[in-house]
Amino acid sequence: MSHKFCVAPMIDVTNRHCRFFFRKFSKYSRLYTEMIVADAITHGDKDFLLGFDDIEHPLALQLAGSDPILLANAALIGEGYGYDEINLNIGCPSKRVQAGNFGACLMADPKLVAECVERIKEKVSIPVTIKCRIGIDDYNPDEMLPEFVETLIKSGVSTFIIHARKAMLDGLDPKQNREIPPLDYDMVRMIKRKWPELNIVLNGGLLTPYSAKTEISASKGVALDGAMIGRAVLENPYSIIDVDSLFYDDKTPSPSRFKIAEEMIYYLEDCAQKGIPINIITQNMLGLFHGCRGAKIWRSYLSHQAPRRRDDPRVLSEAINLVLEAQSEAA
């Protein structure tokens, strides 16, 4: 189970359409669903919540909750849909998540998290992993994180994706919690030194695959097992085009931005025929031409036209032509 490079779970972002798009840039990156509450899977529209395209593998289902039985049942359903991994969210700091007693606040109750993991592992045969922070609020990460990890090791967890910031549960919103608490990569490295047998994946503040590769290398004192990037991929998805070469030694020539955009036309056509509004797909494609001439008109055209012409995939072809025109005029 390789976690050399992962694209982070992002609420309202990493739905099946976004993941299909992200897969165009890398064959091997591990993708994650949005955080899905276990109770929603039990009682909600399972196909809507859990359906995916085979191209999305390797793919992890991220669950949230604190009821061991509900989590185990949701994990079993997820395994039945064909997911490669169950990831338990112990890192989300939002008020809504805290009100449900899951996410980062559970770092203060490692025994409950361990019970959840044990129940899940009784139900499924696929790996169960943890995504967490280095600590929360006024707790000392030097004490909290090792205690949390040690407890979870005993429940059978061997892969930890660690966002190298504290989660401040009172006073900061989720966006602020991704930016304001200082990064402490050495805290994550400390866990790897203490338990070298663990699979430790670094998350938080990583902007490109190249900087991520540097941060997880042995040159920093100890080699980590993987890196996870989130918002930076959404802002500039083409930034991960070299991941397969950089992390997986696959030297296959990379497709151009235009090639990827053209391939997505067929996906939009298929979705439109199924009654899926095209703007649900294009909203996560806005950064495709980030840093290129024509990026502004690409973003503007898709942002305005796709919601108005929700069943017309020609919007994407038109946007491609506008970028081509902008680039040819500058040549």
Phi-psi category of residue 58: left, alpha or beta, with phi > 0 → left and psi -120 to 50 → alpha: beta
Between CA 149 and CA 130 the distance in angstroms is 9
At residue 327, does pLDDT exceed 90?
Answer: yes
Average pLDDT, the chain: 95
Closest CA to 92 of 12, 5, 153, 194: 12
| Arithmetic mean of pLDDT, 210-231 | 96
Domain architecture of the chain: domains with CATH: 5-248 (3.20.20.70), 257-330 (1.20.120)
pLDDT band for 237, please (50, 70, 90 cuts): very high
* The pLDDT of residue 264: 97
Per residue in 264-307, pLDDT (tens digit) is 999 999 999 999 999 999 999 999 999 999 999 999 999 999 99
pLDDT in tens, 168-217: 888 777 788 888 888 999 999 999 999 999 999 999 999 999 999 999 99
What confidence score (pLDDT) does residue 99 get?
63
**Catalytic pick from 92, 105, 116, 271?**
92
* Amino acid (1-letter code) at residue 114: A
Known catalytic residue: 92?
yes
Per residue in 66-98, pLDDT (tens digit) is 999 999 999 999 999 999 999 999 998 877 666
